[in-house]
Chain A
Amino acid sequence: MTLTHSLYGRLLAWLALPLLTLGALLLLQAWLEARATADRAYDRLLDASSLAIAEQVQWQDGRLWLDLPPAALEMLAGDAQERVFYSLVDQQGRHITGNALLPAIADTHDTDDALLFYRDITWQELRLRLGIRRSHLEGWRSKERFEVRVAHTREGRDALRLELLRGNLAGILGMGALAIATLLMAVRGALKPLTRLRQAIRTRDPRTLAPLELELPRELAELREALNDLLARMRRVRANQERFIGDASHQLRTPLAGISARAELALRQTQPEQWHTALTAIHAAGERSARLAMQLLSLTRLDNPEQRPELTPLDLNDCVRQAVRAHWVTCHQAGVDLGADCPASPVLVAASDWQLQEALTNLIDNSRRYGARRITLGVLSHPPRLFIEDDGPGISAEQRLPVLRPFYRGRDDGEGSGLGLAIVDGIARKHGARLSLSEGEADRGLRVELIFPETAS
């Protein structure tokens, strides 16, 4: 289960990412703040110490004089027992006294005011904090300027910084742990209905198609509704199938019952002529039953959604010519005028050849059975269309939808099976084509059109 394939992981990642970023930023800020705070606190020592020294600077015997107060150095050392360094430098930058030649801070601009500058320096391999106080004498005669430079090691600052940081860190880590725990619980809780849904589906009786009754949050309720829709459609499909099976068995039973009755009747006869007549009738009924069974088979195959026909590009003109060739003889013998009306250029669609043939066969058969005398097959382009037109009785507008249902017959004359148009409709749907029924020329007969989707090319 990789992160991207798990909702749990994905949610967690996207929620944890900002959390961690925030945590990192907080840590960085805590680090900087601790440093600044520690420096601020300890810079006061530099401040106080340099002030204490500067106050003792005097003008004596024509030179700067310092009576170094020991307390200034002790102050500078603080509790952390820092190493301390100090230096008094005159106007010309000469070292007057001190225990170290502390460097000047070069980049500060000169002003007359008493000022204090701080710098972190590395001096003789020691990391020091240097404080420089610029001051001048407040005497009557001399306004000599001078600098007091004091420095100490950073141990106290580092210790204070660590202490501050540790305090902050505990807070941040505690908050982080709490946030992550909450996050985990929240994500887990949010995904819990999903588990319930899964369990509900898993524990269902496989034969039941009853809708799911389950309290779910809105997002999942939509999924539940979709599932219930699917179940409802499946219920309808099953009902259709049950009716179809009922109709099919009824349809098959009728000719079989006829055969049985005819045979029984013939057995009571003694004349071979009568037997012959009976056998002829039985043969015809048997053939009809066989054809009915074939049609049922193809309809079942067409209804199976898992069966996808292999669609290859083919020219509808070829298709029509082939159909005419196949049926011309039978039609001619029956006195039906079968013709084709094809454009000069090929009309290409992606289709299954045998299914189109089956559809045309059914349509021709239908027209013939319902008494058409003239049947015209044809092809039109833009969009690609197959049509068949006859001069038969046609189908009234209100019957055009029901006739597509299996076993529905416009007229009950026992000739048709009521499956032909249903099969054609099934084939049309397999090709993504639309089946359209209308009147033929001069409001007579029937015109059936198979309208294919425009191909990309």
Chain B
Amino acid sequence: MNRHLLVRGLFLALIYLLPFHAHAAQTLHLTARDDAIPHPPLVIHAALDLPQARPLLDAFQRRHPGVDITYRNLTTLALNERFLLHPGEADVMISSAMPWQFALANAGHARPLRAHIPDDWPTWAHWRRELVAFTFEPIVMVVHRELAQIGATPRNHADLLELLATHPEELAGRVATYDPASSGAGYAYAMEESRLSPRYWDLVAALGNVDAQLVETTSQMLDGLQDGRLLIGYNLLGSYATPVVEDDPDLTLIIPDDYALVTQRLAFVPRQAPNLASASLFMDFLLSPEGQRTLADATTLGALHPAMSGPGTATQLRERFGDALRPPDLGPGLLAGLDRLKRQALLARWQREFRRTLGNAEEPKKDE
């Protein structure tokens, strides 16, 4: 199994390179109702926090009470490793680490879902009917109210760059963003943004200039913002930030209006899924109007179903931000992010730009 070895090797290299928090898996078990028609059990391995997953699982079990559900929430990297070690363990794989999910599907680990994907499901939201995106989560900025004392609330990346450049002293140490070297999500965003705009590197330099804190999770940034230690959080996962911001009047959530990255949870049914019938039921539910309505109403994940509208849906976000929303192409371009050399090159550049002082910004620089 060369292919597996390779992906695994790549993955192990990442683990050893990076400080990595191997959280013990959070496991949720929902027992089937005794009086219901018994179904095969369902094992879901996901990188999706329990508060977001729980409403979905409950709704599914209301619909199919006979299915006994085991839900394991892992980090994206642990999820990937566990799958490569035990490809016949899970019935459904859900993760927001799009490149890794794509690599698994590309290597033939995913079973074609065929008719289980509705006909009106957008073509950009599935790949070969094997891998399907079912959420729509913008990457956002969150600012603290205190920022108003320093400058205007940034509406987009240009505003942010200007704010950082003009108030380096006031903002020093009070800005946070993902560390692309230690966070898979942070790396993916850096990758996307560097492709989207050459000015991204100026922003990285500006972040370096204000001595931005580099963190690994959205919740770390949210903690700092709630505490008031941080004034600006850049590139937070919108779906996790939304409930916190809604509860905290000090915080404001900003979806940049020039461009906003979007992350999507990708789900697939492994080829060796032990309970195919239940997996199919779950996928049907997940992509059905009912399941998507649950996503829209009970979670902040953003329902993707094209027929859905109203709060918590991709349709509404698209109406508000239109072309600014940039979901990554669900295609082999994602694989480039997993390339060992590519990663090294990007991280090296990122570090370099981060350490560069703004005074040198105009200095011509040779990349490699």
- Interface set of A (CB-CB < 8 Å, partner B): 58, 60, 65-71, 73-74, 76-77, 81, 83-85, 96-101, 124-126
Contacts and interface: CB of A to CB of B under 8 A. Distances in A.
Nearest to A125: B108
9 contacts: A65-B345, A66-B339, A73-B332, A73-B335, A83-B107, A99-B335, A101-B3, A124-B3, A124-B107
Interface string B2-19: 110011000000000000
B336 interface: yes
B33 interface: no
B342 interface: yes
Contact of B128 (A81, A99, A101): A81
Give the bracket for the number of chain B residues in contact with chain A.
20 to 34
Residue from B103, B332, B333 whose CB has the most chain A CB atoms within 10 Å: B332
A268 B341 CA distance: 155
Nearest to B103: A99
B368 A68 contact: no
The main secondary structure of chain A at its interface with chain B is mixed
Given A68-B339, A85-B106, A99-B339, 10 more contacts: A65-B345, A70-B337, A71-B333, A74-B332, A83-B106, A83-B107, A97-B339, A99-B103, A101-B3, A124-B2
A124 B2 CA distance: 8
A70 B195 contact: yes
A126 B108 contact: yes
B107 A67 contact: no
A126 B109 CA distance: 12
A101 B2 contact: yes
B352 to A, nearest CB: 14
Contacts of B103: 99
A119 to B, nearest CB: 17
Nearest to A103: B2
B155 interface: no
Question: What does DSSP make chain B's interface, helix, strand, loop or mixed?
Answer: helix
A-B complex: 9 closest residue pairs judged by Cβ atoms: A70-B333, A70-B336, A73-B332, A68-B339, A84-B332, A77-B332, A68-B342, A101-B2, A74-B333
B53 interface: no
Contact of B127 (A58, A68, A81, A101): A81
A69 B338 CA distance: 12
A71 B106 CA distance: 16
Contact of A100 (B2, B333, B334, B336): B2
B329 A67 contact: no
A67 B336 CA distance: 9
Residue from the set A66, A74, A99, A101 with the largest chain B CB neighbour count within 10 Å: A99
Given A77-B332, A81-B128, A99 B1 contact: no
Interface in B313-334: 329, 331-334
Most A Cβ at <10 Å: residue of B6, B103, B337: B6
Contacts of A71: 333
Contacts of B108: 83, 124-126
A84 B339 CA distance: 13
Contacts of A85: 106
B229 interface: no
A74 B337 CA distance: 13
Contact of B335 (A65, A84, A124, A126): A84
Contacts of A124: 1-3, 107-108
Contacts of B1: 124
B128 A73 contact: no
A84 B105 CA distance: 11
A73 B340 CA distance: 15
A68 B2 CA distance: 21
B329 A74 contact: yes
Contacts of B106: 83-85, 99
A99 B338 contact: yes
Nearest to A84: B332
A68 B341 contact: yes
Nearest to A60: B368
Contacts of B345: 65, 67
Q: Which of A58, A71, A83 has the most CB of B within 10 A?
A: A83
B344 to A, nearest CB: 9
A67 B339 CA distance: 9
Nearest to B105: A83
Contacts of B334: 70
